[in-house]
Amino acid sequence: MWKVGEYFDSATKLCKLCSAGKFKAFKAQTSCSPCPRGTANMYVGSTGIISCEICPLGTIPNAVIGATGCISCNPGTRALYGALECIPCPGGFYSMFGVDCESCPPGKFSLAGSSMCVNCKDDLYSITGATTCEVC
């Protein structure tokens, strides 16, 4: 039997550490298991599923299963804690850093997926969270 965190490579006939994105918790297992959906593990030789961590706010796993890290969302999008994909901010909201969508203040507007709000022209106005500017 092999140690936890290791598997037997039949090609080289050697014990090897589980690669990043995988773990092996029991000696009786013959292969390493991938981290489950929505989690990531950047360490080799992991001995338990606890090594697979949920990605923080504004990030998503770099693979569906067996992820080796978390990647940041693009501006104009966001991801909640443990999300599988970055989603665009709705109209009237923006995200500069891909973490959370904030509403546009009065006098500004945005379309869906915006990374910033746009000023209304001088003869127009808008309310908080507007998708367009209107005539007074």
Domain presence at residue 83: no
The parent domain of residue 129 ranges over 89-136
DSSP string, 65-118: SSB--EEEPPTTEE--TT-SS-EEPPTTEE-SSSS--EEPPTTEE--TT-SS-E
Domain presence at residue 31: yes
Written as six digits, the tokens of 55 are: 């990605």
Domain presence at residue 79: no
- Look up the pTM and report it: 0.82
Domain presence at residue 81: no
Helices (H) and strands (E) in the chain, counts: 0, 16
Give me the pLDDT at residue 18, please.
94
Written as six digits, the tokens of 123 are: 């003869």
Domain presence at residue 68: no
Counting Cα atoms < 13 Å in the Cβ hemisphere of 79 gives 22
* C-alpha span between 56 and 51 (Å, rounded): 15
Length of the chain: 136
Domain presence at residue 13: yes
Domain presence at residue 64: no
Beta pairing partners, 118 = 109
Domain presence at residue 103: yes
CB-based contact 124:136 (threshold 8 Å): yes
The series of mean pLDDT values per 10 residues for the chain, 136 residues long, is 83 92 89 94 95 95 96 96 94 94 97 97 95 93
If DSSP codes are grouped into helix, strand and coil, which group holds residue 51? helix
φ, ψ at 50 (rounded to 5°): -60, -20
* Number of compact structural domains in the chain: 2
